Amino acid sequence: MREKVIPPNTAGGPALRADARRNRNQIIVAAKSLFRTSGLDVSMEAIARTAGVGVGTLYRRFPDRAGLVAAVAAQSFRDVLADVTEAKEVEPSAWDAFVRLATQSENLRLTVHLAFLSLQSWRDVHAAPESEGVHREMMSALEALVQDAQEEGSIRRDIGAGDALYLISVVLGNRSPGTDTMRGMSTERSLRLVLDGLRAEPSGALPGEPVTVQELNTRMKQGADTLEG
């Protein structure tokens, strides 16, 4: 079953023909798969080959890597939103939904690599209208999920949603050396330790102040501005 890709907002511009839209979707699906398995540095030629299109077709749809990364990010953000909705529907509590998302969502893992680990990638994603709006939706949904878990008393109240998302992102972005099996085990162990640390009834007060999602985004923007300078 092929992955469904939502076409971009083309308001103010010509609509893509059916074959062009199909090629675009194939490229996004291929790029998403290769970014997940091989990292963001995978060649455009490899993406075209996996998508079953010519390199010229790829560059007609995406003249540069930044545009392709933004398109894949936009789709990944939508997929995370769907994962949040599913987790809330099938799990008995907000905490269980949060754990399910952190431990099982491959879309969340890819999103971490696309929008959090690389300042260059973060800047490209947020410069694209296609991805900016859905990124806000995704972050709002994640923030609401953390806050729901706090309201039910399962996540400690002396943190902000930005704290929780930052910690999860650090673990999911694990690039430690070793085999895939070793890295997977390291990530799983670290993730469980972080989740335990986020639970309510902490052993002691945390230093500093809670970090909000807005503050987390501000920090990323400052980092990106520094990179550009």
DSSP string, 151-189: HTTSB-TTS-HHHHHHHHHHHHT---SS-HHHHHHHHHH
3-state SS, residue 152? coil
Q: CA–CA separation, 3 vs 14, rounded Å? A: 24
| 155 CB neighbour count, 10 Å cutoff | 23
> Does the pLDDT at position 14 exceed 90?
no
Sign of the alpha-carbon dihedral angle for 163, 165, 166, 167: positive
DSSP at 224:
H
pLDDT (0 to 100) of residue 26:
96
pLDDT (0 to 100) of residue 188:
84
pLDDT (0 to 100) of residue 82:
97
125-172 confidence digits (pLDDT tens): 888 888 888 999 999 999 999 999 999 999 999 999 999 999 999 898
Q: For residue 155, which phi and psi values (nearest 5 degrees)? A: -110, 135
pLDDT (0 to 100) of residue 15:
58
pLDDT (0 to 100) of residue 206:
65
Domains of the chain (ranges, CATH numbers): 13-63 (1.10.10.60), 69-228 (1.10.357)
Q: CA–CA separation, 164 vs 102, rounded Å? A: 10
pLDDT (0 to 100) of residue 115:
76
pLDDT (0 to 100) of residue 187:
81
Distance in Å from the first CA to the final CA of the chain = 45
pLDDT (0 to 100) of residue 173:
83
pTM over 0.95: no
22-67 confidence digits (pLDDT tens): 999 999 999 999 998 888 889 999 999 999 999 999 999 999 998 9
Asked whether 155 and 199 are in contact (CB, 8 A), the reply is yes
59-107 confidence digits (pLDDT tens): 999 999 989 999 999 999 999 999 999 999 999 999 999 999 999 999 9
pLDDT (0 to 100) of residue 55:
95
